[in-house]
Structure 1
């Protein structure tokens, strides 16, 4: 259940409507409170100092109408600027990065401020009365509207600056890198060597008589798994669940998503309960998929290497950030893909996430698209050398060596300049030296 709520919260947080909607609700409550306070001042015949707005009902209507109309115009301009920024980001950095711009709290709060101010002014305007000789002017509310108008001017200036800086290539790469760092801390919180040994796997888990295949009832990306729910389900039915996919992979309708191993024939409702423990959606999300943010950096690099953009410096910046992440991962403990109950019985298995898989996801496409660019090739090898100096396991060393070998072979096929090849071979030799020293 917690996994489902976290998945919904991730979708809400990445939307444009949630923060502005909350700010509109706050504006409605603020308008009612301030107008009520003005009514109380009139009821008790209290007067305010002649500070700020001191006009009558017509003046109050004019001020509030002007502010409300201005806020609608500014909000429209802000929305237009945002759409233009999203269009530029989509064409230059890739459509998958639109999620980062949409969930940017700066953009959400700016749009919410303009709309909330507009709603506040409308509600205060409706409370101004001038009929049958009875005049009511909510002076506190009007003065607050003037303060909000000045605040909105500052917010507009900030918004223009924020949009101008947020679409710069280095800032986009840094933003994705920081988000990836957060997910790395979330997915791999333990240092290498500090994880507890796995419980002993009994033979009873491996000799089940019945092997029931569970199929998917829809296609899409496996966004999240509720592993606690799956383990409880396996314990309830006294079985072992072997998943065919991990979070981030694409599932085909009517395809096998899991195999249930049990001593007795599974009950009919097991399939439905198992599917309820999985969240399948149209889009890939980073909730339980650390490779998602890696692919975002890779996409920026690959687009930068395309003939239409031809920006190897951005590609090299992405390589630098990816190498920093991979250096950090060499010291992290990758959790087991097997889950046990309190009695040591194996209840859940899923495809493992490995350092080799993340390294290949980070470098394969950049290597393939940048093989004819000497600067990018050299930067890839320098990054692998940096990673090799941090390697702590044979798996990590083998993965780095494999990437270096492929880069060297591609360089001999793609580069014709002898000095360029010499530089490449020099970096390759540095990687071998680092691996030998580990």
Structure 2
């Protein structure tokens, strides 16, 4: 339950309207709560504030905040468009979820709503006591201070939002977070996967990508009905009518009920696109797309591909180190079997695009081979085997794409570790 709730909360973070709505409700509540001071008869202890001074401040705020909110939206849209065109459209959700931009938009819209509601209440005699007028004045000053601080932080952030380097950093952070989450529960908390025996019931889902698997819900259903469940579709898998998402089997003789099959399918969140949270491979794939776009003839930016290659080294070293630290991790859901991520698939997601599109660029190939050499040394057996495999493929692609003997000599020299 908590796993599904956290997924829903993070999903709502990507909606631009959520934070502004919350701030608007809080601002309206603050306007009306200010009048409670008069009821407590505390006004005689507070200094007197003229209504004209409060009215002037609120009018300034009301006339400027709507313009600031409009400017913020326009700047954010321009940054999102830049991220989608310069990097990849798959990075768009990370730009939307940027906290600084969302907070700035929320503050500007909330301040506008606050000023309008407070101004209407003030002009209609809602604040007649000394206490309520002082509290309203103090709230207005506090709102002004928040606006100034938010604007300064937002200007510093919007200057980087949507830039290619910033986008790469955002994607790397999302991929690293998914890797840490996966290694805290290597098989999503389940046991090692096994081949389902004959008689197991195949469970199918909607057509789309698996975004989230609620293994806690699967465990609860399995305990209640004495079942064993094998997850067949990890987050990031594309589900089709001929591809089951899970296999369900009973511990006792008999068939799996339709109710159990429906409950199993309900534990899988399936959507139109992949998400980063439970899918470390998606982060690698998005970074590879950024590098491939940079290597296209229209862009011709090998430096970005080299930067992404270094990012891959950091992510795979993180995967290897945390894997070593979590070998003795406990199983949380003993009735749910989940397959582990394939190292071969992860390497294919990361390095195939760069090796293919950068095969004719000696600088990119050399840096790619050096990165694979590093991973072959620091990684486990599976990582070493895949690093050597991709190094050999990179050399073959370079030999087919390059014609200058000196470039090929340099590449073969760097690739001696894979011989």
**TM-score under structure 1 length normalisation:** 0.83
Q: Which residue of 2 aligns with 1:400?
A: 387
CA distance in 1, matches of 2:116, 2:36: 15
CA distance in 2, matches of 1:130, 1:274: 58
- Gap change, CA 1:417 and 1:18, over 3 Å in 2: same
Q: Which residue of 2 aligns with 1:369?
A: 357
Aligned length: 408
Matched, 1:175 2:203: no
Q: Name which of 273, 277, 287 aligns with 2:267.
A: 277
CA distance in 2, matches of 1:322, 1:383: 8
Preserved contact between residue 211 and residue 274 of structure 2 (Cα < 8 Å): yes
Q: Which residue of 1 aligns with 2:120?
A: 126
CA distance in 2, matches of 1:144, 1:260: 59
Q: Name which of 235, 240, 248 aligns with 1:247.
A: 235
CA distance in 2, matches of 1:55, 1:235: 68
Q: Name which of 375, 389, 402 aligns with 2:377.
A: 389
SS at match of 2:378: coil
Q: Which residue of 2 aligns with 1:28?
A: 28
Unaligned 5+ segments in structure 1 are: 433-438
RMSD: 3.1
CA distance in 2, matches of 1:353, 1:290: 9
Matched, 1:294 2:284: yes
Q: Which residue of 2 aligns with 1:264?
A: 254
CA distance in 2, matches of 1:45, 1:164: 48
Rg larger in 1 or in 2? 1
Post-superposition shift, 1:239? 4.2
Post-superposition shift, 1:106? 0.3
Post-superposition shift, 1:261? 3.7
Post-superposition shift, 1:210? 2.0
- Gap change, CA 1:317 and 1:269, over 3 Å in 2: same
Matched, 1:423 2:418: no
After superposition, residues 345-360 of structure 1 pair within 5 angstroms as 347-360=335-348
Matched, 1:141 2:130: no
Preserved contact between residue 239 and residue 347 of structure 1 (Cα < 8 Å): yes
- Gap change, CA 1:111 and 1:341, over 3 Å in 2: closer
| Structure 1 residues 97-135: Cα deviation after superposition (integer angstroms, max 9, x where no partner) | 11111111100111111111112212221232477xx79
Q: Which residue of 2 aligns with 1:17?
A: 17
Which has the larger displacement, 155-164 or 207-216?
A: 207-216
Preserved contact between residue 329 and residue 355 of structure 1 (Cα < 8 Å): no
Q: Which residue of 2 aligns with 1:161?
A: 156
Post-superposition shift, 1:84? 0.9
Q: Name which of 304, 313, 321 aligns with 1:331.
A: 321
- Gap change, CA 1:2 and 1:155, over 3 Å in 2: closer
Preserved contact between residue 209 and residue 264 of structure 1 (Cα < 8 Å): no
